[in-house]
């Protein structure tokens, strides 16, 4: 199954889901990081202790950890990247399923495509890189290198078709 869909001038890169067991553990701990400080705060107040700033620090710290872990769990479950190609511009959006990152628009002239290797060399995995130097978009969806090369050929062929925006 391909991890990408190219339709008109929109490219969607889908993240390969991790195992259900790992995702369940991540979701469990992310919700635990949200609920545990609340339960400790309420139970301490219910036992007659006064509210103090340490409770706020605990809520804030564990809230950040819970949010980060929830974001990672959602990315590994529903994650996808959307790239919209326009004349000399690329619009990039990371979609986590329950929420989205802010839209990034980069002007890249000329639009060049390459593969950046990720992980061990024998795994033959990488990410798609569009542009060069400081004007580039580096996708985070890890795919097999041969699939990225196939995608690059498809994008270049698609952008040269008459009537298509490049």
Query: How far is Cα of residue 7 from the mean position of the Cα atoms in its chain?
Result: 20
Please list, residue by residue across 74-113, b when 16 or more beta carbons sit within 10 angstroms of its beta carbon and e when fewer do: bbbbebbbbbbbeeeebbbbbbbeeeeeeeeeeebeebeb
Contacts of 10 (CB under 8 A, 6+ apart): 82, 83, 84, 85
How does pLDDT run across 41-99, given as a tens digit for each residue? 999 889 988 888 888 998 999 999 999 999 999 999 999 999 998 888 889 899 988 88
Q: What is the pLDDT of residues 99-145, one digit of tens each?
A: 888 888 888 777 788 888 888 888 889 998 888 877 888 888 889 88
Please state the pTM of the whole predicted model: 0.79
Q: Given this model, what pLDDT does residue 161 score?
A: 59
């Amino acid at each position: 199954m391909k991890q990408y869909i190219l339709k008109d001038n929109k490219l969607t890169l889908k993240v390969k889901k991790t195992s259900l067991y790992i995702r369940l553990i991540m979701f469990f701990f992310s919700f635990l990081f949200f609920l545990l400080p609340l339960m400790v705060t309420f139970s301490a107040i219910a036992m007659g202790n006064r509210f103090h700033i340490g409770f706020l620090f605990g809520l804030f710290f564990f809230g950040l950890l819970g949010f980060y872990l929830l974001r990672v769990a959602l990315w590994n479950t529903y994650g996808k990247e959307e790239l919209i190609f326009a004349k000399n511009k690329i619009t990039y959006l990371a979609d986590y399923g329950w929420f989205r990152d802010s839209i990034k628009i980069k002007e890249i002239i000329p639009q060049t495509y390459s593969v950046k290797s990720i992980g061990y060399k024998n795994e033959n995995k990488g990410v798609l890189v569009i542009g060069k130097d400081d004007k580039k978009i580096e996708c985070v969806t890890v795919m097999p290198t041969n699939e990225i090369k196939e995608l690059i050929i498809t994008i270049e062929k698609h952008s040269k078709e008459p009537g298509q925006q490049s």
